[in-house]
Amino acid sequence: MKSGTYRVKAKGHGSSFMPMEVTIENDKVANITVDSAGETSGIADEVFKRLPKAIIDGQTLNVDAVSGASISSQGVIDGVAEAINEAGGDAEEWKKRDKPASSAAKDEEYDTDVVVIGAGGAGLAAATRSLQHDKKVVILEKFPQLGGNTARAGGPMNAAEPDWQKGFKALPGEKETLQELAETPTSEIDPEYVADFEKLRDQIKAYLDSGEDYLFDSVLLHEIQTYLGGKRVDLKGNEIHGKYELVTTLVNNVLDSVNWLTDLGVKFDRSDVTMPVGALWRRGHKPVEPMGFAFIHVLGDWVKQHGATVLTETRAKHLIIEGGKVTGVIAEKTDGSKVTVHAKSVILAAGGFGANTKMVQKYNTYWTEIADDIATTNSPAITGDGIALGQEAGAALTGMGFIQLMPVSDPVTGELFTGLQTPPENFIMVNQKGERFVNEFAERDTLAKAAIDNGGLFYLIADDKIKETAYNTTQESIDAQVEAGTLFRADTLEELAEKVGMDPAVLTDTIKKYNSYVDAGHDPEFGKSAFHLKCEVAPFYATPRKPAIHHTMGGLVIDTKGHVLDEEGHVIAGLYSAGENAGGLHAGNRLGGNSLADIFTFGRIAADTADEEPPASDAVSGASH
């Protein structure tokens, strides 16, 4: 091969392309440099550490993809293959070479205070808090890197902080939303929430009577919106709503979670208050670093620096149960070796089952159909492992039939951050004809149902000013999206309509009417709850979207302390759970931004509880196992 440095581009996660430099010397690949700036942080970081080293050490392209990042893995392999071919070599021959030799498998055994299963946000929060209590901690994560679904999250975390929110102006439509909520008959409110609802009604009246024009919020508003946003009835007529004790625990402790994360090093953007799709209210605390990886890298670094034993590529297979008490975990590494962890407390934080379509179809009672080929926003790791482990110990389940679809997902991959994603006050949802069909500010299930009724595929329409609020707005990123076909751009609305197969007259009329509603602060067609930007400054954009599996609402039954409960409501000694692994909080539909609030709050709580209690081996069990 001709020696030199070859510049190639490889397909990355989503629609991005990764520039790569491959240096070839003396018929060998001597160096591989990947510019992963366009990649979503935390999704494929392990790829860029592991694959170049494996290729160089083994002088082969017959290397294993990194679990959970197969697209980026293949991108690196394809990029090096392109460079080899450009240099006059034969990439196909390199792909047939022997795989790098792996080290011999060896069984391991650990004794610890706390073992945490799952290294997403809930697991890392529980591990961090346990370390703050001077506990020995082992973390088991079946994937090669930390992050779980949190690394794929948008980033805004719901927490009512009225003193801060008062610094922002109310948007047109928000006062009307409050007025409408206050007029809800108490007969429609479940008894345990009535007293709080009446206090909230008084708060809303005082705010509206004041004539002030700031963004109102309160802990009670967060509570009641979480409750009403999750109150649903399934196809069999079963009603579900959030357990009062869990909802109030969340809303009263989540601002402490924000402050706790801040103390650990997460930097929040205090200049803006935002909300993700389906959040119902602007109370999102958005990290400065883009998306959910902001939390993962701070917590992940913290646990490693403070002495946690972090075992990646290690899947928890079974709980160790002795005398009705959970006393550890049996796990398996990808090389087949066995890992045994003896622990005083086991915290299940392995997420839900949104990447396990068969399990979703098995439990679903909310959607008429979940298609075999439906996409998911989830990490491939999220397959229900933690729920199965809890059931081994006799844990009760709740709300398993309620599955949340994310309406604004990539039509092909299910990913959230292709195209232009922006808070819902700023985008316009149109169907394939170019017509609006829903209040863009509504809950996620409402949006998803409306999309399905309109054929599934729809478009988010926006103008150039959307770049002020969208999540991925570098010009390079936008250009790459357009080139990849995950975003459409045109200088006129008429041209944009033609590019996506709409009647130009229909789309231009839709946008004209929408702009007039923004001016009026009122949407007579669909009752959009809040407005900000109009759509009038070229160029114009259309992001194709389609609902995908996003969050599984059900899970293990827990109490406010994070204990896992059995069918009789008894505590299962030694076993705790937090985050999407647990159920009962979000009920039938989760508000956008409440997942991050949940995982960090209940992750902390589970660790605090484990610290306060005697080890399972010493405890007087209230369980029947």
Distance CA 149, CA 153 (A): 6
What is the number of other CB atoms lying within 10 angstroms of the CB of residue 568? 10
Q: Taking each helix axis from N to C terminus, what angle separates 191-210 and 174-182, rounded to the nearest 10 degrees?
A: 140
> Between the CA of residue 406 and those of 354, 426, 429, 589, 597, what are the distances in Å?
11, 18, 14, 11, 18
CA angle 163, 167, 170 (to 5 degrees): 110
Type of residue numbered 7: R
By the 8 A CB rule, do 140 and 348 touch?
no
By the 8 A CB rule, do 432 and 218 touch?
no
Q: Around 188, how many Cα atoms within 13 Å sit in the side-chain half-sphere?
A: 10
Query: How far is residue 151 CA from its own chain's centroid?
Result: 7
By the 8 A CB rule, do 453 and 521 touch?
no
Closest CA to 609 of 249, 329, 147: 249
Distance CA 575, CA 572 (A): 6
Distance CA 107, CA 532 (A): 58
Distance CA 145, CA 311 (A): 10
Q: Taking each helix axis from N to C terminus, what angle separates 45-58 and 70-86, rounded to the nearest 10 degrees?
A: 40
> For 376, which DSSP code?
B
Distance CA 13, CA 385 (A): 25
Distance CA 556, CA 576 (A): 10
Distance CA 470, CA 423 (A): 7
Q: If residue 82 lies in a helix (H) or strand (E), which one and from where to where?
A: helix 70-86
Q: Taking each helix axis from N to C terminus, what angle separates 121-132 and 594-612, rounded to the nearest 10 degrees?
A: 30
> Between the CA of residue 50 and those of 77, 124, 299, what are the distances in Å?
12, 23, 22
Contacts of 358 (CB under 8 A, 6+ apart): none
Type of residue numbered 433: K
Q: Which of 444, 489, 545, 590 is catalytic?
A: 444
By the 8 A CB rule, do 580 and 556 touch?
no
By the 8 A CB rule, do 71 and 12 touch?
yes
3-state helix, strand, coil in the chain (%, to 5): 35, 20, 40
Q: Taking each helix axis from N to C terminus, what angle separates 244-264 and 191-210, rounded to the nearest 10 degrees?
A: 60
Assess whether 129 carries a catalytic annotation: no
Distance CA 50, CA 46 (A): 6
Handedness of CA 587, 589, 591, 592 (dihedral sign): positive
Catalytic residues: 444
